[in-house]
Amino acid sequence: MNAQEVAQQVLEKFPSSTSHEFRAEHTVTVALDDLRSVMEFCFKELGLNFLIDISSVDNMGSEPRFEMVYELATLNDSVHLRVKAAVADAVEVPTVSDIWATADWHEREIYDMMGIKFAGHPDLRRILMWEGYPYFPLRKEFPLAGKPSEMPDVASTGVAPMEGGPFVTSAGADSRVKAEPRAR
């Protein structure tokens, strides 16, 4: 079975889903209400037993604001499928940490950096920032110059500057391509 056939099976089982192919990579976009069922189907029925990554995208200004992106594969890497689901602000995403154990840390990182909560997660607490930190650093409203910190005994207690750094996109560029750091 190849990625196109796997994507087709997901579409047949979940007809409200859509599929997209770009450069031989297959992406299936599903409704958030179907996400948990789709993930179980991919694991149990389609043999996608390797969760490569979970990430999230902040589409600030759009509704729904966030998008979850799951990268699934077979252990021998013969099939790779990307699954996406749109998530509104303050809506919880069902955990998949009981399907793939590695999802535990991925989901904690997304919660810590983006503020997206995962319903049913066994240990949803911050993984990079300290408990009580009131911000989510990967959200687009978080300033490039950072925020002041009153936390003692931290490597930097002042503002952590990021603006102009090698991995920071340029705000206000004409296009996303021109905003990329490598375009400078």
Q: Strand, helix or coil at 126?
A: coil
Number of domains in the chain: 2
DSSP sequence for 64-132: S-EEEEEEEE-TTSS-EEEEEEEE-TTPPEEP-TTTSTTHHHHHHHHHHHH---EET-TT---SSSPTT
**Is the same domain home to 61 and 118?**
yes
Strand partners, 98: none
For position 157, what pLDDT does the model report?
47
**Is the same domain home to 80 and 13?**
yes
**Is the same domain home to 63 and 74?**
yes
Give residue 180's domain range. Answer: 143-184
Is the peptide bond prior to 148 cis by the omega test (within 30 degrees of 0)? no
CB 119 within 8 A of CB 43: no
**Is the same domain home to 109 and 177?**
no
Q: Which two tokens mark 22?
A: 């770009």
pTM (two decimals): 0.80
Strand residue runs (E) in 15-79: 18-22, 25-30, 50-58, 66-73
pLDDT tens string, the chain, 184 residues long: the values are 899 999 999 999 999 999 999 998 999 999 999 999 999 999 999 999 999 999 999 999 999 999 999 999 999 989 999 999 999 999 999 999 999 999 999 999 999 999 999 999 999 999 998 888 888 999 998 887 777 766 655 555 455 555 556 556 666 667 766 766 666 5
